Chains A and B, each alone.
Chain A
Amino acid sequence: MFKLTINGSVREVEAEPDTPLLWVIREQVGLTGTKYGCGIAQCGACTVHIDGQAVRSCSLPVSSVSAEQKIVTIEGLSPDRSHPVQKAWAALDVPQCGFCQSGMIMASAALLAQNPKPSEQEIRQEITNICRCGTYNRVLAGIKLAAEGGEAGRG
């Protein structure tokens, strides 16, 4: 039995200690916005925030997360898609199939929390998630738009 704090509420889950946090979130907690894409920390589809840091949850055993640590998933990023990154994504129609986008948005939000005005070079270095549909340039534009603040609400 593990206790996790996810999106502000405490959840008790039954799982083997080596179960990746990703699968606990998806299967025990039932939050399926966090995606499985590779299982080996390569693609970033499973990105969540733990105490504000972007973490690839497929490669983190549930036993290594304590009840005090705050886990935020895409469902908990904002109550109404009002996070600046979500607003920028809506303004620019960033997603194509959308399967990578939970991870893209969570990685981008964590980047902006740490570095509110990243340079293009920093964005290129920090956002290493895979998007097979090829939304990279809109992701780049979306992060820049979100970093500009108020602009994100337009469109």
Chain B
Amino acid sequence: MTTPRPALSRRGFLAGSAVAAGAFSLGFHVPLDAEAAPGAPEINAWVVVRPDDTVVIRIARSEMGQGTLTGLAQLVAEELACDWSKVTTEYPTPGQNLARNRVWGDFSTGGSRGIRESYVAVRKGGAAARTMLVAAAAREWGVDPAGCRAEKSVITHPASGRSTTYGQVAALAATLEPPKDPPLKDPKDWTVAGQSVKRLDTLPKLDGSQVYGMDLTLDGMLNAAIRDCPVTGGKVRSFDAAAVSGMPGVRKVVQVGETGVAVIADTFWRAKTALDALPVVWDEGPNARVSSETIAAVLKEGLDAEEAFVGNKAGDVQAALRGAAKVVEATYAYPFQNHATMEPMNATARWTPERCEVWTPTQNGEAALAAAAEAAGLSPRQCEVYKIHLGGGFGRRGATHDWVRQAVLIAREMPGTPVKLIWTREEDMTHGRYHPVTQCRMRAALDEKGNLTGLQMRISGQSILAAIVPGRLGPDGKDPVTFQGLNPGGAEAAIGYTIPNLLIDHAMRNPHIIPGFWRGVNTNPNAIYLECFLDEVAHAAGQDPLAFRRKLMANHPKHLAVLNAAAERIGWDRKPPAGVHRGIAQIMGFGSYVAGAAEVSVAEDGKVKIHRIVAATDPGVAINPQQIEAQVEGSFVYGLSAALYGACTVKDGRIEQANFDTYPVMRLDDMPAVETVLVPSGGFIGGVGEPTIAVAAPAVLNAIFAATGKRVRQIPLKNADLRRA
């Protein structure tokens, strides 16, 4: 069987994907103006009901594998009381959001916000639509809506025995006044939300029919490959287009902004082949001598600097250290890491002097629209972005849209012709938005009884906000994201310990390598620094690391509850199997409480085997437990990949690792058994796509100490010598 290459027009493409997807239409869809045509009334911005009772639920956030699409649809469907088997979804476009005064709110999908920040709005949308559908039926019957019931897309009026379906009253419902503030169900009464329903987007991922950005084909489309200056801050000096313009398929060789060159050809492979042969001379600029060593020296200076931004302070830590019976001190470090989404960056753009359209996988359609408009030299209202399912996001496709900018600049060289830009893996690895690099000096004061009387934590290094969203820095220039998991309080990322004398501060040092939000963000290093060091302090005090922590956690019952749950599941109070050793860690991040516990063995030759890892999570409310389990497993893979292998190093101003041969990641053979303990305590909703990542590394590092007596204070573990002496 062969599938002909779909030749798709601009609008046709959008519908075509739904056909290819078979039973489900997903990801992108016929634009809403077509959807709202007679016969398929829009009840409100979130819900369209077709005459055949199909319910189209609109999803403003992006699906990148994390299950947000299904989870959000569950929340709407729950309040809508519709038949779950008839639910389908679509993405409204950022342009439509703009045109309708942001009726769908924020499109941004990062910081594990996909569900939790839409939690109330989408349920209200579903509840309002249900109220309108019921009111429409009641009006047709001439009865009081209060006497009607709605369940599984069927409306009944028990008193008269009448019934109808959503599809039959949708047209009338769409004309009714929406209710102001529809009441919401108590989560304990949920029947669709809170359940482990199957994902809505699985089937097209099983037969190759799911269209990712890289797979897009438009009529008359050309392909482009790009090389950006390998050194950030450098630019193109010259290139010899004539040397490659006669190569097969080549249409044009173009400069992209000040820093890049691209070849446009009929196929991507021919574009790439010509680009590889293209002579380019770079002006590498002021960063051409920077290396990992010079960066480390700058950060090390920050460890002792006078000035630092204070993130959390209590008592007088200097006095506590001076008066301590024992002082423990250690310095940790965290490297640059690439997101390495499975699908490299890509975007397709078509530009004319009046209009610019972009098709791209993005975590933030509105930011993509802004980037496209700027590069297009047009107003956002003249531009549109069509979001496509992401082949992974992890933060790379959210805050900065460098690849969208490039695609539009390239398309401007070919007015009217769609051009698809695909990054090679090498381009993707060397032009990332890397996990920020930091070092951290920890000092602890213990009294004679081994009580922790003071803790000093100095973080030195990179600020994500300063580099890519400086508008979100505090008025004094402080980057609050640096203190994730260490804050004195709050609903997002509070520290889980009460320490009488405490100082956590940040000496900001910004190397030229551009950082980004990397799944888990600053909870990753912060959990290693705090949780591994507390393990060191517990040992220095001659105490069990779990018992030592518990003494500091009386005021932090939710942190303590997940720590206890992880400890209980791993069997902390029983002996591990011979040769196996345990470690434990906890943190709060993205509004959720998480703890991890690992069982590890280390062979004579230093090889680490992770046998089992447990996560306990309190996200407040669980929308889809089986998908939370999938997120926890995925988070451990991401976090353990980072712990075992993840490091990008810098030489001559550029990132040295260019592909998976030099930037290894975890594979199936490394994968431990994962156990997920869900302890939702209610009353709030936290994220689940990220927080677990942070506890993977410290739980394993603490277990490695238990196994070897060696402290690894800098990941990745592949660089540590764990051989028995």
Measuring CB to CB, which residues of chain A are less than 8 angstroms from any residue of chain B?
6-9, 11, 15-16, 19-20, 23, 26-40, 42-43, 45, 73-79, 81, 86, 89-90, 93-102, 105, 123-125, 127-140
Contacts and interface: CB of A to CB of B under 8 A. Distances in A.
Contact of B199 (A29, A73, A93, A131): A93
Given A75-B1, A136-B668, 18 more contacts: A6-B2, A15-B269, A16-B273, A28-B267, A29-B5, A35-B342, A35-B343, A74-B207, A96-B634, A98-B201, A99-B212, A99-B343, A99-B392, A124-B669, A128-B669, A130-B665, A132-B665, A134-B636
A16 B268 CA distance: 13
A131 B341 CA distance: 9
Nearest to A99: B391
Interface stretch (B59-67, B351-359, B471-479, B575-583): B59-67
A75 B208 contact: yes
6 contacts: A35-B342, A45-B342, A94-B202, A96-B630, A125-B669, A134-B634
Given A42-B659, A43-B660, A129-B667, A138 B1 contact: no
Contacts of B248: 16
A72 B211 CA distance: 19
Contact of B634 (A8, A32, A78, A133): A133
Contacts of A77: 207
A137 to B, nearest CB: 5
B3 A30 contact: yes
A35 B270 CA distance: 17
A134 B273 contact: no
A43 B428 CA distance: 15
Contact of B208 (A28, A74, A123, A129): A74
Given A131-B342, A132-B665, A42 B660 contact: yes
B627 to A, nearest CB: 8
B668 A139 contact: yes
Given A23-B268, A124-B669, A95 B205 contact: yes
B217 interface: yes
A96 to B, nearest CB: 3
A90 to B, nearest CB: 6
A75 B207 contact: yes
Interface string B331-350: 00000000011111000000
A129 B341 CA distance: 14
A134 B202 contact: no
Contact of B668 (A33, A75, A105, A123): A123
Given A128-B669, A132-B638, A97 B65 contact: yes
Contact of B659 (A40, A81, A99): A40
A33 B205 CA distance: 9
B386 interface: no
Q: Which of A35, A36, A37, A134 has the most CB of B within 10 A?
A: A134
Contacts of A95: 65, 199, 202, 205-206
B27 to A, nearest CB: 11
Given A7-B1, A76-B1, A133-B65, A33 B209 contact: yes
A139 to B, nearest CB: 6
B389 interface: yes
A28 B266 CA distance: 10
A52 to B, nearest CB: 17
A46 B509 CA distance: 41
Contacts of B422: 36
Contacts of A98: 65, 201-202, 204-205, 210, 389, 391
Interface residues of B, number: 68
A38 B344 CA distance: 9
A16 B270 CA distance: 9
Contact of B3 (A75, A105, A128): A75
B424 interface: yes
B708 interface: no
A138 B633 contact: yes
Prevailing SS type, chain A contact patch: loop
Contacts of A137: 633, 671, 673-674
B217 A132 contact: no
Interface in B53-102: 64-67
Given A6-B2, A11-B2, A75-B2, A27 B273 contact: no
A105 B659 contact: no
A143 to B, nearest CB: 10
B1 A90 contact: no
A31 B6 CA distance: 9
A144 to B, nearest CB: 13
A108 to B, nearest CB: 10
A35 B208 CA distance: 9
Contacts of A19: 269
B554 interface: no
A134 to B, nearest CB: 3
Given A32-B211, A97-B390, A102-B208, A136 B1 contact: no
A83 to B, nearest CB: 9
B635 interface: yes
A105 B206 contact: yes
Contacts of B199: 93, 95
B671 A97 contact: no
A152 to B, nearest CB: 12
B214 interface: yes
B425 interface: yes
A130 B2 contact: no
List 7 tightest A-B contacts by C-beta distance, closest first.
A33-B208, A30-B5, A134-B637, A97-B65, A99-B391, A98-B205, A96-B65
A34 to B, nearest CB: 7
B635 A134 contact: yes
B203 interface: yes
A89 B206 contact: yes
Nearest to A127: B668
A5 to B, nearest CB: 10
B215 interface: yes
Q: Which of A34, A42, A97 has the most CB of B within 10 A?
A: A97
A132 B198 contact: no
Contact of B214 (A9, A35, A134): A35
Nearest to A96: B65
Given A40-B659, A99-B343, A132-B638, A31 B667 contact: no
A104 to B, nearest CB: 9
